[in-house]
Each structure stands twice: as C-alpha cells, then as structure tokens.
Structure 1
Amino acid sequence: MAPRRNVLLMIADDLGRQLGSYGDPMKATPNLDHLAADGVRFTKAFASTASCSTSRSTIYTGQHNHQSGQYGLHSQRHHFCTFDHIESGPALLNAHGYLTGIVGKVHVGPDRVYPWTVREESTTRDVAYISDRCAAFLDKAASEAKPFFLTVGFIDPHRDRTRSGFGNDDDFDERVKRNRFDPAAVPIPQFLSDGPGVRQEMASYYESINRMDQGVGFILQELQSRGLADDTLVFFMSDNGPPFINSKTTLYDAGINLPFLMRSPGGPSGVTNPNMISYVDVLPTILDWAKHPTSVNPDPSSPRLGRSILPILSSTEELQTDWDKVYGSHTFHEITNYWPTRFVRTRRYKYHRNLAWRLDFPMAADIYGSLAWEDVRNSEDRTVGGRRLRDYFFRPPEELYDLEADPRELHNLVEKAKGDETTGEVLRDLRAKLDAWQRRTEDPWLYKDGISLLFVKHHVDAGMRMPDRADFEPDEPQSKGVNAVTDTSFGAGVVWER
C-alpha cells in the first residue's frame, strides 16, 4: 500500500521570530528548533496581513483577504465572514477523500466555507489536552483508512484579557511544565522600546511561547508513536507578529515577516531557505502534496495566486525569478480599526500604499490596554522602536523603505524620490507592480481620485473622465485637462503577480 500523504498544519497565535532557530537567545522553543533542524527554515516568509482572522483565511483559501471577503476579525461584534463561494482547503480535501480536522482556535467563518469534518474549537491553552484531541483525530483517520489534513490552532502566545497576561496562571495538565523567564534577562525586539512594562510582558510572552512549544512537541510525538512522521507534511507558522505596538496590525516587517518551518517526508533537513514566500502559497503547497486535481500553479482564471513551495524547498540560494517579491493587504482588524493598506516587498525595498492616510492609525484593544503601551506613551522621547509616535499614528499616503539600510522601516524615501532618479525609479516601479497586483486581485481598494476604480469602471468605460491619481484633491478638483484613467481592466486579463 502506498503511504498516505498526510498534512499537519500548526499555527501559533501572535508569535514573532522568538525562536532559537531564528537566533533568539532565550531557548524557549526546543521542539520547534528541533523541527527546524529536521526540515526547512524560511527566513523570508510573509503573512499577507497582520491580523488573526484575515491571515488564517489567507492560509486556508490561498487568497488575500480583499479577495475572499474576510476583511477583519470573525469573532464577536466584528463578524467579518469569508464569501460563500470561496473554496477552502478543508472543502477541497474533503472532496479528495481526506479526513479534515481542526483543534483549538478557528476564528474564520462561516462554517459552510470551512467544513472541517472534525471541528473541536477550543480556547484552552492546555496544550496537553490539545495534543490528546489531536491523537484522537489521528486514530479516527486510521480507523477510517483515510489520509488526513489536521490543523492545530494554538491560543498561545496571544494575550489574555488581563492587562499584561498571556494565560500563564491558567490550570494545566501536569504534563505541561511552567518555565518562567526573568524580565531583566529578556531581549527587547527592535520594534519596541525598553521599559519595565515591556519587560514584564515580554517575560510572560516567552512563558506562553514555551508552553506552545511544548504542545508542538506533544503533537509531533503523537505522529511519531503512530508511525506517521514519514507520511506527513508538517508546517509550523504564526498568523501575525507579536501583540505589541509597532508590530501586530501593521504591515511593517515586525508584523508580517514570521517564522515558517516545513518538514517534508524524504525531503531536506537542516536547510535555511532565503526565498520569499507568501501565505497564499500554503494551500497550493498542500494541494500539490496531496496530488489534488485542482491546479496548483498560477492560472489566468484562478483567484489563487500562490504556488507550491515543494519544488524550491531545498533551495539555499536566492532564486532570481518568481520568488523575489510578495504582496499583501490589510483593511480591518476590529470593526472599528479601519485602515486599509496595500504593500509590495522585494528583497531590498518595501512600498506601502495607505488608502485612508488622512485617518489616524487605529490601535487594537489588547495593545491599548497593555503595560507596554503605557510605557511607550509615558516615555519622554515619545518613540517606539526608534519610530516617533507621531509618525506611527499619522502616516503619509505612501511609504518607501530601503530594507538593507533601514530594516526597521523608519526612513521614508518618498520625498527623496522626487530629486533622486535611482530612488524615483524604484518608487515608480513598485507603484506599477502594486497597481497591477490590485487589478489582478480585483481589489476594491484600488483607488483613483479617492474612489474605488472597481465600482466606477463602468462610468469610465462609458466616457467619464477620471483623474489618474490615488487621492481626490479638493484644491484641484477638476477632471478636465488632467491625465485621465484609461485602463480599467481587472482580473484575469492583467499580468499575473502573486
């Protein structure tokens, strides 16, 4: 009998690159570090967005959130939902003869779009219990003689509902060990500023990370004990960056450049892969591994723009074509956190287009209540991670960063581009790339003259003149005598971009 091509997908909640395999000194993640040594560690893996539900929908559907309709958080009063017609991984693999399941955090909907056969939604941080439920799922797959696609949604290391907690005082199975971290010894990420509240929260954050890592170890052991490790493609990733100001909900790299590990049966081990991958590539990779008949490659008629990572899994050098840029979009976090941004990132440069730049940047409720934010707002220099608070909350319509010289994205080069031809050419090129990608993905937030081009294209096609600029200019409102929009194409007719 041929081996079953199983899939285990593990997703942490609000985890940054605080893993030993990514150079973190706290040794909080021995199981994940072992997984990295056993498989492939990507250094340039990017979420499409830095918010939980939207990022998970990207993983499960292979579509950016402005394509799928999962514009913001699914839970509670936010209640954003994926469009009914979207095909998800669980639906595709159910039809392909797989047993599909999810244990732990779900945070996407509606259920009919994400029809996991086994759905054990839970808010527990007891990773031993989560592992036991995963074990029961593996036994069910064996009893039904089916290959499986199992998703594990860890709650850790998300904040709890206290001001500075990460669930560390909950009751856990005795198999879960409590490992505390010294606030004086924790490293402070570059995107944050030092302070007593920051240190207290980072110490608690590391404890939560370590607990999640124990859960990874438990689940991988369940695979091993059943003889499934050699038949199972394993992923580990995070939905978005750490739950602190200047990271989560932003499209700066601190919010989207995340840990991403893969272990493929018979595949490479101990590999560090520097190529740029996007979370839209996850579902095509799973479909490729499962030998699903659905196309896994870019197709003019397909809304899934990602590609299978499997052909480049063993690469240790930067490939010169295709895997050299990523795109992403953020629209909402909470329903009151409206601040649409689109970005394109190459290996060296990052371009942000802020569609609602006249609004101040909104803060997520959990970050607003944190001790870290209290430290920052009461500091004398009024900066966070070297960024002025004024620049954080009041951003311009465009941002351009040279990430080789400025990895923290502090020095916006848009003004420099007006007088420097080299920088100007970079800016024009990335503007054009982002514009083409927004057209290809039928993005309602492709704005011209301050309005969605998608929703007024029929007027332009009928002869209405529309200024070819992103924002409406009240001091120069005329539409006559200006460069006008002539290209209103969207969708499959546009040159393909991820």
Structure 2
Amino acid sequence: MSEKIGSSASSAQKNILLLIADDLGKNLGCYGAEVTTPNIDAFASEGVLFSHAFTSTASCSNSRSVIYTGLHTHQSGQYGLAGKAHHFVIFDNIKTSPAFFREQGYMTGLIGKVHVGPDYSYPWHIRNESTTRDVAWVADQAGDFFATAKTSKQPFFLTVGYIDPHRDMTRSRFGNEDVFDTRIKDIPYESSNVKVPNYINNIDESRFEFSEYYRSISRLDQGIGMMLEKLKALGLADDTLVIFLSDNGPPFLNSKTTLYDAGIQLPFIVRNPKAATKGIKNPNMVSYVDIFPTFLEWTGKTQNAPKGLAGQSIFPILERSELVPEDEWKHHIFGSHTFHEVTNYWPTRVLRTRRYKYHRNVAWRLDFPFSADLYGSLTWDGIRHSQPQGKERDIMVGGRKLKDYIFRSPEELYDLDSDPLELVNLANDEKWKETLMALRSQLEKWQDETLDPWLYRDGVSKRFIQHHLDAGMIVPDTFDLDLDNIRIR
C-alpha cells in the first residue's frame, strides 16, 4: 500500500536530502578503513563514491557555510566558528541554499547541528536543532518531515546535521556513554587492534581515542541506514538526490583545523535516483563549493539563483569512473581558512592539484594554534609527554616534527606523488622554483578574482589599499613587511 501511495504522490518532485557528519574523515569501510559501516557502504554501492572530494576549510561552521552558500569563507564572511564567543556569521547579502529553495516553494528543514548564522539567512521551515547523538530519534524526526512534505505534495530540501563522530566535552570520548534508543547497537573496538591513520602517532592514547571514535562512526552508520529506510518506506527515494559528506577531517593533529589532506579530503557520496549506473568510484576532483550549483541543476531552479558562485555542478562528471579531460573539468581545488575559534587566527590559502599542494601561510610568524578539543585530547597529551625532547630526538606529530607543526614557513610546497602526508616542504628548494612560482601565481590570481582580503603585499591587504595602488602608489612585491626595505612611494 505504501509503495503505491509513494509512487503516485511525488513522481514529479526533485527533492534533496543532505546528510552531514561531524569531524568524519575517510574512516569508512567503503573507503578502505577497518570500520564497521555496512549502511554507508551499501549506500555507496547504490551511488557514486568520490575519492578526491575536498572541503574548502577544515572547520565546522566555515565548511558548512561553504556547503550552503557555494562560496569560500573569505567571500561569504564566515571566517570562523559561529557559536559561543566566536560569533562569526555570513554577510547579510549572501543568499544561502535554504533561503533560495524556500523561495522556490520547497519545504526546507534542518535536524540536528546548525552551527551557522545569522538565523535570518537560514530560514528553514522546520528547524529542529539538537545536540543528541541518538540517531534513531533523528531518523524518526526526519520520517515525520518526509511524511509532512509528502502530504503537502511539496518538494523538500532537508539537511541532517549529525553530531557523530565529533568529540564530546570529555578529553577522550565521543558520546559513547550516552543513553540511546534500543534500536541502536553498540559496536565496540579493541584499542590494541585499532589501526591508527599514518598522519598521527600510533601510541596508546591515540589507539584508545580511535577505538572510541570508530564506535561513534558505527553509530552514525546505523543512523544513515535508518534515515534512508524512512525515505524509502514513504516512496520518496526515487525522487530524492541524497548526498552524504563530512564537514572536516578527524579531530586529531595534522587533520582538523589544518589544510593538509587529512583535514580537507573527505568522504563524499552521491546517490542520484535517475542515474543509469550504480556503484561508481569517481576519481575526479570536486569541492564543496560545487554542492549548491549541483542542487540548482538537479532541481532545475536556476532562474533568480545567486550569481557568482565559486563552483560548478558535478552532474556533467557524476557518473564517470575515469579522469575527465581538463577541458571538461577542473583538476584542482582551492582552500580558504582564516579562523577556527576566535583565538585560532591562522589565515591560510591552498591550491591542490592532482600532484602538488601549495600552502600560503599568511600569518606564518604566529604559532599555529591549538583548538580547544585537540589541545585537551589524550592523543596530544601522549605526544607531548611520551617523547623526551633533546638533541637526539625530536618530538614528532605523526611524521612531522612538532616544531614544524607549530612554526610553519610562509609557503609550503609538496609533491603528493612521493609525499602524500605533506612532510617534505619543497618551497625553498631551487629545483622546484618553477613549480612554486606557477602555483603561487595561480593561487594569487584566484585570490584576486575572489576579492580575498588576505592577499597581502608588504604586510598589508592588497584589496584594502587597491585605491592607493590605482592612484600610482608602489609597494614592494613581497608578502610581508621587509624591515630592510620599508620605503613606499
């Protein structure tokens, strides 16, 4: 009976279901990790799994703003976290996807984590904000939303912001001691058998924390299965584009809050119900700025859509399992990070191609800051205390010296073919100067085109002195103020 009702009620609709995990890296079975995620794995087998999907910035609010606006953080104004004392929000003139699709007659909703602002820029019809990790409750709320949309015969755009697998407020846990619906099964991991990713130290503390992290991921996986079953039971799956992704990488050093690949190269799985082919592994590079344009193409709601979005729809390459020629699709992505917490100022811009990674660290004279959750973690505690410092041994963070993690160069250049962990900085190697200059030029061109305030000359924002430059003022062609050359004409 339900199948008949569902197939007749929404056959012309183009719905959107956006599922956002919190602090999840590529720690899923379908990405080759030894983590129990049968529901997400099954979802991937029904859609397209991208191997090279990137957020623009490895910070929760910032990344979500990129998803919702189709703009990099320096374009939208979401420079850092939205909540608590941080209070970063997008500019008033920015049109978000929830606002746009509401105008287009969609029933819009958010269940779970919001973490963006201001509220009036995100006018969801139903805003069911919650910090619960009870993914069964979340699925039930979504089921009610789906039923309401179906009854009203409205197309819908629902975002589900999961809390898992973010750290909780303790030093080492991931919400696993909470009380959950009996439909949720605890899937424990033995810390001694856990495989720790190679970007972080393999020590007792990290093995324990990853065992707890993986428990949280397996709970999330059950929630995804329940969510998709609700959609299917109401007969809406055949008319709903579903995207599953994470906002940023795992909450460990060398990942979250950095623009290293562990922080920004993330799970990204798309199920287009109209696709002819399933179970595709797509190697092409996509960015989170491409998500809003993808929604526009899926729905056909392109008239009066926001202009100047930074990305492009992924539909032209969605069902491709091979690399698309460069004249058909981009083979690079840009990243833009400025703040995490309000005290975590570390403006960085990044250009990543298939082979190279170029970082421009604008405030390189500052220490790289610790976010509160990473500083309080047992893994960091173990790193700083388990390795005695001295002339014979450096404290290491993964394969990187701690001092190189804290004190970074103005520029970083990595050959990812030989150095996927971004450990050997080639920026000062004369043999790589031509590559460095080409990538630097490409990044600065993008900064200029996107009106990035953090494109610096002589230690000051080029954008904010542009009127002086237009009037003929000449400044040294350097990133930073050079005390040996401070004259300005």
Q: Which residue in the other structure is 1:492 paired with?
A: none
1:348 aligns with 2:361: no
- Normalising to structure 2: TM-score of the pair? 0.95
Q: Of residues 356, 375, 379 in structure 1, which corresponds to 2:382?
A: 375
- The one-letter code sitting in structure 2 at the alignment partner of 1:392 is Y
Which residue number in structure 2 is paired with residue 131 of structure 1?
139
Deviations 1:274-333 (A, max 9, x none): 00000000010011101112478xxxx933121111111111111121320000110000
Deviation at 1:437, TM superposition (A): 0.6
User: Which residue of 27, 37, 48 corresponds with 2:45?
Assistant: 37
Instruction: Find out whether 1:362 has 2:369 as its counterpart.
Output: yes
Verify the 8 A CA contact 1:287 1:294 in the aligned structure 2: no
Equivalent AA in structure 2 for residue 411 of structure 1: V
SS in 2 for 1:250: coil
| In 2, Cα distance between equivalents of 1:142 and 1:440 | 43
Q: Equivalences for 1:16-415 in 2 at 5 Å?
A: 16-26=25-35, 28-267=36-275, 268-294=277-303, 302-321=307-326, 322-380=329-387, 381-415=394-428
Q: What residue is the counterpart of 2:487 in the other structure?
A: 478
CA distance in 1, matches of 2:396, 2:383: 7
Give 1:478 deviation, angstroms. Answer: 2.7
Contact 1:449 1:467 in 2 (8 A): yes
**1:3 Cα deviation from its structure 2 partner:** 2.3
Answer yes or no: is the 8 Å Cα contact 2:55–2:264 preserved in 1: yes
**Could you say what secondary structure the match of 1:415 adopts?**
coil
Residues of 1 paired with 2:26 and 2:149: CA distance? Answer: 33
Cα deviation for residue 208 of structure 1 reads 0.4
Give secondary structure in 2 for the equivalent of 1:184: helix
Whole-Å separation in 1 of the counterparts to 2:378 and 2:271? 37
What is the CA deviation profile of residues 145-196 of structure 1, one whole-angstrom value per residue up to 9, with x for unaligned ones? 1011010000000000001010000011111111111001111101111111
> Out of 450, 457, 460, which is 2:469 matched to?
460
CA distance in 1, matches of 2:238, 2:12: 9
Aligned to 1:490: none
Range with bigger deviation, 454-463 or 6-15: 454-463
In structure 2, C-alpha distance between the alignment counterparts of 1:385 and 1:435, rounded to whole Å = 31
Matched ranges for 1:479-494 at <5 A:
479=488
CA distance in 2, matches of 1:24, 1:323: 28
DSSP-derived class of the 2:488 partner: coil
Instruction: Name the CA distance, whole Å, in 2 between partners of 1:50 and 1:450.
Output: 25
Take 1:376 and 1:245, find their aligned partners in 2: how far apart are those partners?
10
Q: Percent identity?
A: 55
Match of 2:3 in 1: none
Query: SS where residue 352 of structure 1 aligns?
Result: strand
Q: Which amino acid aligns with 1:66?
A: H
Cα distance change, pair 295–468 in 1 and its aligned pair in 2 (3 A): farther
Q: Report the RMSD for the aligned CA atoms in angstroms.
A: 1.2
Structure 2 stretches lacking a partner, 5+ long: 1-7, 388-393
- Tell me whether 372-381 or 188-197 shows the greater mean CA deviation: 372-381
Structure 2 residue matching 1:478: 3-state secondary structure: coil
Whichever residue aligns with residue 429 of structure 1, its letter is A
Structure 2 counterpart SS, 1:115: coil
Q: Partners in 2 of 1:32 and 1:59 — Cα distance?
A: 20
Gap runs ≥5 in structure 1: 481-498
The 4+ residue runs of structure 1 with deviation greater than 4 A are none
Give the length in aligned residue pairs: 471
Contact 1:157 1:166 in 2 (8 A): yes
Aligned letter for 2:316? P
Question: In the TM superposition, what whole-angstrom CA distance separates every residue of 1:397-423 from its partner, at most 9, and x where no partner exists?
Answer: 00000000000000000111x2x2xx2
Q: Secondary structure at the match of 1:378?
A: helix
Cα distance, 1:234 vs. partner? 0.5
Deviations 1:247-267 (A, max 9, x none): 000000000000000000121
Which letter maps to 2:190?
D
CA contact (8 A) 2:473 2:488 kept: no
Spell out, residue by residue over 1:364-419, the C-alpha distance to the aligned partner (whole angstroms, 9 max, x if none).
00010000001111232410110000000000000000000000000000111x2x
Give the TM-score normalised by structure 1: 0.93
